[in-house]
Structure 1
């Protein structure tokens, strides 16, 4: 019976999982505790030297630049872990930089350069470890208990939001009543606690070693595909890649007028897109030079990257709840709420506590009610179907938030409680996209690319925030402003409906691509007790 359970992938949960989940809950408290008060702190304190009419826009720019940094550095973390130090060591040492960043925010509350340096360290630490912790969770499973991984990823995501919920409630109060040094210092203490918990579990973890130099790696197979000549044929894929490099160079030059962050991130997107397209056009030319398994592995990665690219509009909507939605809430009325004799008034930044609270409710509700109901009527809620629905729900949330803004622009006083509906829709979208994406990214990644693929997943967040910066910059153009004026909408309302349409169109494209995508199973095989390595397994169709 036990063997049948193991063969079915329903073996027991690894005993080391609680250490990783507890670490992640404390780390996410520290991150979201800092992030959720960043915009209001910038507007009310640090950016007072900026003219009042430009302060909100500058605060949004700083916030989304920070988010871009936090979700760009996973590329570095994934590379260091996969090639040199392994996941555990990379997570541990980058976490110490993370703690130092929090200390800078608390110490340099009135020093712009010191505060920004703290944001840089947090972006480096939080971003560097983000994909690795998720991949490290997956490393603790094998073929005998792989079906438990979805439950643990959901629990993992639930605990992340448990920490985020209390951070969203408490940090705005601490900022208001005790000042920024305390409000930014407490997340630093929680991050130190997270590092301690992670270290205590060290002897219990499965440590998958870094991949050795591989002559059939992703980059080498791609290089062979792009450079190999075929008699009588050109190299159209190479032409596409070179054109992408040229456009990336133009983007860097234009960064003098666009801004460095927009120019550099746009250049990165152009390089990745042209490399992916070019490689896919000529991938068959790598056969014979590299094993078929390596060529098919690259094909699998390229297909995964298309999924990630289609998720980027979701992140452009989701991350604005901590900037655009707070700005809207600042202009709304906040009623006094009486709860069991305790009266309180909700602060705009505290509305973000709805997001993790709803996540904690929706994850078990989906698993125990919605998904079984769908299966009962013959609809299997696969990962890609869930993600398609999630992107569409995020678009619906922005239709509602746009309607609220139109009502406010017309002079109708709106209670902050009106934001409950869009928060509910956006959070349902998050549960279906983000929690599912962690599981999808790990299961689809070839064994030697786990950390790097998870890094590309987080890079999707960077690109999503890039869209926000581009749209915010474009509305400063006179021609664009003239067009918006002709619609009868305010600039902020127009942007809200633009992002809603962006997400809904993407959901359609995502759903169509999902119909053609073939899932694979890249969980490692069972290892002997105490083994600290991994045995590669050829992907199986599922």
Structure 2
């Protein structure tokens, strides 16, 4: 095929005559421009095309006008993606099943009459501190899992190996929670060992499972699909990825309901069956993931991508410094000086250093990744607020009247709300807004999520104030509870849940779409690492994470989150304007 042949001719076997007409229009409208260095015999492809971008029945390519005016809709989610979603459900079932009862397990003594269930008897400070450590560790280790996947093993093998490590941690936790181990002081060391091992396993899984589920959808170009009723819709990759992460996050929250079962087991039986159940579920998790081994789209590792990125940034900085000293600053098409990162592009170098192993496109992707990472700097405050749900709000419920249910069952209000509202947002609210011409960009969605988290913390402060002003124990209830209903906590969890839909899900989507193909696990791990920042901030709050200072704790969280919400939107609202154009690169 010679370099002058048209895009329509190249794909004449894979499109209908109706589609071919549209494809020829793409040539006329210069949708495809051949590279200057393409010689005769080279295969020409549209810049956004992959081997999966083949038109099916009742599909065609859109015109430029349709790309600008038609409402974008999501495509069908591949079956392989659903296998990974089921795997994530099983893993989160295990994670929340064991961690959801940590607060009581650590804080309270074993078989103490008229007290909440417990095992270690370390008190509220130890329980909150170890809980924050576990959160920090689980979101620190994804960096290592991402490096291993992107450079050596690939996502599939990394997930499978680290899942086996995870299972070892589950077994240690289950065995050391047996009554004989608790009575012989084996619970605390067993818990610490299990936390470390489970955290390692989590790191290898979390940084790779969410990019891998999105990898299963491989169509890049927008296309028109004619529905059965004759209506045509514009199917868009960005909208599809958003839908994939909505359902991925939905599975996480269905899995997190396991803590309802484990809290009931700890309350009515003992801790060892409460830990045994999620351990058995994790065996199912490994089995489901292995079952799909021949069905997954696997992106191969690319080698020393971090070294390549580091070298390009170093070269770019040095070339920028030299340009400043010599007065030869380069300006872009807009007349403004280009970024210092762009000086790493070989096309801008008079004589490229010997260690240049990248091209201009790699520098563009790296620049975009660093730009996206700036957005993540605001997430630690959000995770500080979110983390209150699994420790301080659990203890808050323990100071209230919960009737016949355990105090730590209240945290399940959050996933219940998410299970209800994620499909509503995915199928009704977001499509309805798009039909009205309101396409909420990721920055706006994250800002709304941050604001809802601030409202949740402000409400929690009000509830804590009411607890302290209600007898019989007022601001020093200890292991007892005041005469106030735990139902008052429900709005706090509801606001947190709605905030997750806007902030947390969008963060996952943003991390995936902004990362170059060779660095998706790395960028996802950077996003997850922001959770470590939240845990570190929680350590700083540990001195006021106890009675009678919890009103101040929640109030400071609310104030910080509110202030950072407006600062975040002020800094990044312009990013939404170029969202679709940037993703098309």
TM-score by length of 1: 0.78
In structure 2, the residue matched to 1:385 is 444
In structure 2, the residue matched to 1:436 is 506
Distance 1:60 1:78, change over 3 A: same
In structure 1, the residue matched to 2:11 is none
Question: What displacement does 1:100 show?
Answer: 0.6
- Three-state SS of the structure 1 residue aligned to 2:463 is helix
* Contact in 1 for aligned 2:137/2:532 (Cα 8 Å): yes
Is 1:409–2:485 an aligned residue pair? no
In structure 2, the residue matched to 1:38 is 102
- Three-state SS of the structure 2 residue aligned to 1:211 is coil
Question: What displacement does 1:170 show?
Answer: 0.6
C-alpha distance in structure 1 between counterparts of 2:524 and 2:306, whole Å:
22
Is 1:303–2:371 an aligned residue pair? yes
* Contact in 2 for aligned 1:217/1:294 (Cα 8 Å): no
* Contact in 1 for aligned 2:377/2:530 (Cα 8 Å): yes
Distance 1:368 1:116, change over 3 A: same
In structure 1, the residue matched to 2:37 is none
Task: Please identify which structure carries the higher helix content.
Answer: 1
- Three-state SS of the structure 1 residue aligned to 2:492 is helix
* Contact in 2 for aligned 1:404/1:418 (Cα 8 Å): yes
Distance 1:367 1:66, change over 3 A: same
Question: What displacement does 1:431 show?
Answer: 1.2
Aligned with 1:88 (options 156, 172, 196): 156
Q: Which runs of 5+ in 1 are unaligned?
A: 235-279, 336-344, 482-488, 523-537
Cα deviation digits, residues 391-438 of structure 1 (max 9, x gap): 100000111100011111122632100001111111100111111221
C-alpha distance in structure 1 between counterparts of 2:422 and 2:498, whole Å:
9
Alignment of 1:209-358 (within 5 A): 209-213=300-304, 217-227=308-318, 230-231=321-322, 282-287=340-345, 288=349, 289=352, 291-335=359-403, 345-358=404-417
Question: What displacement does 1:216 show?
Answer: 7.8
Is 1:363–2:422 an aligned residue pair? yes
Aligned with 2:493 (options 423, 426, 429): 423
* Contact in 1 for aligned 2:444/2:569 (Cα 8 Å): yes
Cα deviation digits, residues 101-130 of structure 1 (max 9, x gap): 000001112312222111111111112211
C-alpha distance in structure 2 between counterparts of 1:331 and 1:11, whole Å:
48
Is 1:158–2:228 an aligned residue pair? no
In structure 2, the residue matched to 1:170 is 261
Is 1:496–2:554 an aligned residue pair? yes
C-alpha distance in structure 2 between counterparts of 1:301 and 1:464, whole Å:
22
Question: What displacement does 1:11 show?
Answer: 5.4
C-alpha distance in structure 2 between counterparts of 1:357 and 1:129, whole Å:
24
C-alpha distance in structure 1 between counterparts of 2:410 and 2:283, whole Å:
27
Alignment of 1:92-171 (within 5 A): 92-109=160-177, 110=182, 111=186, 112-142=188-218, 143=220, 146=237, 147-165=239-257, 167-171=258-262
Question: What displacement does 1:447 show?
Answer: 1.2
Alignment of 1:454-493 (within 5 A): 454-473=524-543, 475=544, 490-493=548-551
Cα deviation digits, residues 177-224 of structure 1 (max 9, x gap): 221211111111111110000000000111110013459832222232
In structure 2, the residue matched to 1:254 is none
Aligned pairs, number = 458
Distance 1:414 1:378, change over 3 A: farther
- Three-state SS of the structure 2 residue aligned to 1:204 is coil
Distance 1:373 1:207, change over 3 A: closer
Cα deviation digits, residues 337-356 of structure 1 (max 9, x gap): xxxxxxxx232111111111
In structure 2, the residue matched to 1:26 is 90
C-alpha distance in structure 1 between counterparts of 2:401 and 2:583, whole Å:
55
Mean CA deviation greater in 4-13 or 405-414: 4-13
Is 1:197–2:267 an aligned residue pair? no
Question: What displacement does 1:76 show?
Answer: 0.4
Distance 1:28 1:6, change over 3 A: farther
Distance 1:443 1:521, change over 3 A: farther
TM-score by length of 2: 0.73
Is 1:207–2:317 an aligned residue pair? no
C-alpha distance in structure 2 between counterparts of 1:212 and 1:81, whole Å:
10
* Contact in 1 for aligned 2:470/2:484 (Cα 8 Å): no
Question: What displacement does 1:490 show?
Answer: 4.2
Bigger Rg, which one: 2
